[in-house]
Chains A and B, each alone.
Chain A
Amino acid sequence: MTALSRLKSWEGLLLALLLVILFFNVTDSPFFLGVGNIVNLFQLSIEKIIVALIMTLIIISGEIDLSVASVMGLAACVMAWLFQMGTPFPLALLAAVASGAVAGLFNGFWIAYVGLPSLAVTLAGLIGYRGIARILVEDRAIGGYPEWFNTLGQQPTFGPLTLSIVIFFVLLILVVVVLHRSALGRLIYVIGNSPNAARYSGVRVKRVKMALFVASGIISAIAGVLYAARLGSVRGDMAQGFELDIITIVLLGGVSIFGGSGNLVGVGLSILVILNLRNGMGLANITGNTQTSVIGALLIVSVLLPNMAQLIRNKWRGSET
């Protein structure tokens, strides 16, 4: 069985799953297909799915970034802290995004240029960046931002769509073009499949990895600021634990944790599956924690099932010959 047909069947499976969930949701509630509910569906997890896009590229390149949620928190806290110190708000926003870029540079330096494992470096980042965020904000909740900031985070600005949703779709197009329509995208796959082969054939592996981690830092920071705008106040533990959901989305989309395979069609379907599943369970009065458990189980099963199918197929073939 070729990798291509397996991938195809994987996306087929996700699509079937999505249709089943949609069917249940539509029969469950007549309001499900309303524009309001669909916008709401995206809006409730919008920051996570924005970060999931860049995480897809990082995991395909064979690395992982566990620090994204802490960078989200860090950026929001930098913004809140500067704002509280009396810095003009636009400058505070800029500094927040810059803090994400610095965090990404820091991760990228150790991973790409020193050659440390990204699992360990970004684990240190997960703890360390959260620590810096805590130092800045301590245990306060900082609010009182300009009116337009909160409006931008909460109210629809483009027709029925909010700014975050527009940013998500712009980014989605950008990432699709980079990964599936550009030379850089092919390099990311090559690096994920075999970093040594990539290096010997003249790919600037270090530079690509560095670029990916800086992009991850910047996008996480933007997502963090958007999250702050949506909530209207910033706390030190903001976005804590989000990395779990984000990685789950990417892996459920059929991206291999070992790098080198997966695509954005799968991740897009996986985003829809998870959003609709959460929404549907919410409509059926299932609590958030149980929802997380169900998604955790889905994550395991999503990798287990194809493995088991492969095993059974091999056994069956073995007995035939």
Chain B
Amino acid sequence: MNWLQRRVRPEQIRELSLLLLIVVAVIIFGSLIDGYYTSRTFNRIASSVAIITVVAAGQTLVVLTRNIDLSVGSIVGCTAYFTGSLIAANNGLPPILAALVAIALGTLMGSINGVLVAWGRVPSIIVTLGSLAIYRGILIEYSGAKTVTTDSLPAWLVDLPQNALFTIGGLEFRTMVVLAIVVVIIFQLATSLLSFFRRFYAIGSNPEAASLIGLPAQRMIFTSFVLSGALSGLAGFLFLARFGNITVEAGRGLELQVVAAVVVGGVNIFGGSGTIFGAMLGGVMIGTLEQSLFRLGISEFWRDAILGLLILLAVASDAVILNRLRALWARSDLKLIDKTAALPGAASGTSSR
């Protein structure tokens, strides 16, 4: 047990059990649905999860700092629409530039949220509830209720969701999916290795201690909203590529799915703990259920009820099981300290004689 406790943290057990749950779900669905283990199933789930995962990575950073960003659905809608109409007007726009425009727009919207939360000292739930309505209103007002249509977009963009970058054992890894995986890997590595990103955890788990050791809390909270906006912008670009037809309603309600993915993925809603990888697993779990229930012939009307139950289970298991595990870990840490202190000759024992 000690061996185990030294190598894994309770949070990792949480993620491993979610991974196990996904595997179990896939096995159950596989035995119920004919031809479930095909590349088609994989592709379907992967492309539906890709967009949510990209947004969830940014949301995780915000939630880590004890805040929440409810405006992501509107940011995705705005960036998808505005980038779409820009590309529709100039079909010659290079792909990279188009993606950068989307990211820049998202960054701008995120930084407005960030300034208001960090320096305006307005609670994030108020700021982002407000900007959820404002960004959507700007979109509807500006667009004049017109729609970006697929046939006005250049071929490279329309084909993007079907493009496979590489194939492993019959599983196509499409551009969008690879992009989402790259985002997850970059941010997972950053949040576990770079001290700058570790500050998100410090600020979220103990704000007073963080400010006492001189961490710039306001700047970090601002950064988290900027990154959330930028990633939502990127997701808006992916949204445009995936659906082609963008109405003013694009991305409405996405914030709920994203927050659900983050919570199911084990990120503590009160900040300070959770990982980007966990948030991705949360997205995968939700996506797998959604697509598989659809294949099972269970009506789509059941989807939301099950999703709600899943979130509740995730939060309840966090509160009940994870707290027990943490207590167990803390107790064994204490024992370890006791043991080293009691060792004869340890610390000052021999030299003082």
Contacts and interface: CB of A to CB of B under 8 A. Distances in A.
Interface of A: 110, 114-117, 119-121, 123-132, 134-135, 138-139, 236, 244, 247-248, 251, 257-258, 287, 289-290, 292-297, 299-300, 303-304, 307-308, 311
Contacts of B99: none
A201 to B, nearest CB: 25
A-B complex: 7 closest residue pairs judged by Cβ atoms? A128-B308, A293-B137, A131-B304, A131-B305, A296-B133, A124-B311, A296-B130
A127 B304 contact: yes
A121 B313 CA distance: 10
Given A123-B256, A131-B304, A295-B133, 17 more contacts: A120-B312, A120-B315, A123-B311, A125-B308, A127-B307, A127-B311, A129-B308, A131-B307, A244-B132, A244-B133, A257-B123, A293-B133, A297-B130, A297-B134, A299-B129, A300-B116, A308-B120
Contacts of B306: 131
B205 to A, nearest CB: 15
B129 A117 contact: no
A70 B126 CA distance: 20
16 contacts: A110-B316, A114-B320, A116-B315, A116-B316, A121-B315, A128-B309, A130-B304, A131-B306, A131-B307, A135-B302, A289-B137, A290-B137, A290-B141, A292-B133, A296-B133, A304-B120
A123 B259 contact: yes
Consensus secondary structure, chain B interface:
helix
Given A296-B131, A296-B134, A300-B130, A127 B123 contact: no
Contacts, number: 131
A258 B137 CA distance: 28
A269 B155 CA distance: 55
B164 interface: no
B134 A128 contact: no
B299 interface: yes
Nearest to B121: A307
B141 A124 contact: no
A229 B130 CA distance: 30
Given A128-B309, A258-B123, A116 B319 contact: yes
A134 B301 contact: yes
Nearest to A297: B134
A293 B134 contact: yes
B14 interface: no
Contact of B308 (A124, A244, A303): A124
A2 to B, nearest CB: 19
Given A127-B304, A135-B301, A307-B121, A300 B127 contact: yes
A114 B305 CA distance: 21
B86 to A, nearest CB: 22
B307 A128 contact: yes
B140 A115 contact: no
B315 A117 contact: yes
B269 interface: yes
Contact of A120 (B132, B136, B302, B311): B311
A248 B130 CA distance: 8
A123 B260 contact: yes
B301 A236 contact: yes
A300 B129 CA distance: 9
B328 interface: no
Contacts of A131: 301-308
A120 B301 CA distance: 22
B288 to A, nearest CB: 17
A309 to B, nearest CB: 12
Interface centre among A129, A247, A292 (most CB of B within 10 A): A292
